[in-house]
Structure 1
Amino acid sequence: MSTPSTIARGDLRAYEESVRLPTSELVARLRDLLGAKLVAYLGSVQETRAVRQWADPVDARTPSTEVVNRLRMAYRITALLHEKDSAAVIQSWFQGMNPHLDDVAPARLLREGNIEQVGPPVLAAARAFAGAG
């Protein structure tokens, strides 16, 4: 059972990992948990090939700073939720209408919004979900 203190530790660990991981490893971990299509959607690219290239540490292709910041927030949320839930649940959480976010999918907000504006409410919704049940 998750307690507020274990959620807080998981949240801090997720934050630290999201900041410290090299972009290629961050993308690879996101791809493993969310799937290449959802990572491509979050990264605003049409093809999963770009995700594969971003995850390759020797490939010269890197996403823009804006996309990296968005992916770091997505990873932070994913790592927090993964403390308690499976990859399938996390994928559903990202793609489903969320009552904490006016019934908008977290993935859509992260993709379309300014990360400084949408990041905090999406993270709060993830914290609420991680603390529930």
Structure 2
Amino acid sequence: MSLNTPGLRAYEISIRSDIAELVGQLRELLGAQLVAYLGSVTETRAVRQWADGTRKPPAEAIRRLRLAYQVAGLLTERDQPRVVQAWFQGMNPQLEDTAPARLIREGNPDEVGPRVLAAARAFAAVG
């Protein structure tokens, strides 16, 4: 893979960052409410605690948050955070009109990850 491959930097950060740092960055990109949704918690307080390192998300939530960061990071290479937030929450024609955030939250990351990443790459390519 070339260093110019779209999303490569976001992938590296999603893998190498500790979860507190990753959640903090994801919160800046997507907002606390969307991160809470992706992490399957009802309160943004949990997101703040994850970012502060005073609480650790469950293992399954960590997998989803790493995937979400990879996708968000790829999209922010071309778009502003408000566009990325809208993309995560909007019905996506490449995902059978399902919101990417919903797929990430409700699906198995190993199954939905490639589909969501492909949709994000397609969106970034036309942006």
Q: What TM-score range do you get, normalising by the shorter chain?
A: over 0.9
Alpha-carbon distance in structure 2 between the residues aligned to 1:126 and 1:111: 16
What is the root-mean-square deviation in Å for CA atoms of aligned residues? 1.3
Alpha-carbon distance in structure 2 between the residues aligned to 1:114 and 1:83: 26
Alpha-carbon distance in structure 2 between the residues aligned to 1:13 and 1:31: 18
Q: State the shift of 1:107 in Å.
A: 0.2
Structure 1 residue matching 2:7: 3-state secondary structure: helix
In the other structure, the counterpart of 1:86 is 80
1:105 to 99, 106, 126: 99
Structure 1 residue matching 2:120: 3-state secondary structure: helix
After TM superposition, the runs of 4+ consecutive aligned structure 1 residues lying more than 3 A away are: none
In the other structure, the counterpart of 1:36 is 32
Q: Alpha-carbon deviations, 1:47-85, whole Å to 9, x = none?
A: 00000000003x1x1001110010000000011001110
Alpha-carbon distance in structure 1 between the residues aligned to 2:7 and 2:101: 19
Q: State the shift of 1:11 in Å.
A: 1.4
In the other structure, the counterpart of 1:126 is 120
1:74 to 65, 68, 72: 68
1:53 to 49, 52, 66: 49
Aligned residues: 126
**Sequence identity (%):** 63
Letter in 2 for 1:78: A
Structure 2 residue matching 1:66: 3-state secondary structure: helix
